[in-house]
Amino acid sequence: MNPEIKNCQNCKKEFTIETEDFSFYKKMKVPPPTFCPECRMQRRLAWRNERGLYRRNSDVPGKENEQIISTYPPTINVKVYDNDYWWSDNWEPTDYAMEYDFSRPFFEQFRRS
């Protein structure tokens, strides 16, 4: 199949669907997109909370007094890292893991946190 040029249903801009993309859509059993990549990204990110931003201290070791902007208020008891530390290999994600018992229902265990 050849690349196809389509008009976005949302913003009416032209966008191209490449040949490799069609094989991916076929494999995933989904139709080709009708929205351009930018409009699809806007839809994916629409759920995010960027309206309520809070200034709070970072939880990065050694930078506890460094102020960052977060979507989580300081009153919530969660660890908040700056972007560089979050994407680094300097923290251990299993520190926040929970034990899981396969003999019990998932949601029963999920609620206990």
- pLDDT at residue 112 tops 70: no
* Predicted pLDDT at 110: 80
Name the token pair of 91: 């923290």
Q: What is the mean pLDDT of residues 3-9?
A: 94
- Compute the mean pLDDT over every residue in the chain, rounded to the nearest whole number: 89
102 Rama class: left (phi>0) / alpha (psi -120 to 50) / beta: alpha
Percent of the chain at pLDDT exceeding 70: 96
- pLDDT at residue 70 tops 70: yes
Digit-coded pLDDT (tens) for 20-60: 999 999 999 999 999 999 999 999 888 777 778 999 999 99
* Predicted pLDDT at 100: 87
**How would you label 38-52 residue by residue, b for 16+ Cβ within 10 Å and e otherwise?**
ebeeeeeeeeeeeee
- pLDDT at residue 113 tops 60: no
Q: What is the pTM of this model?
A: 0.47
**What is the C-alpha separation between 98 and 111, in angstroms, rounded?**
11
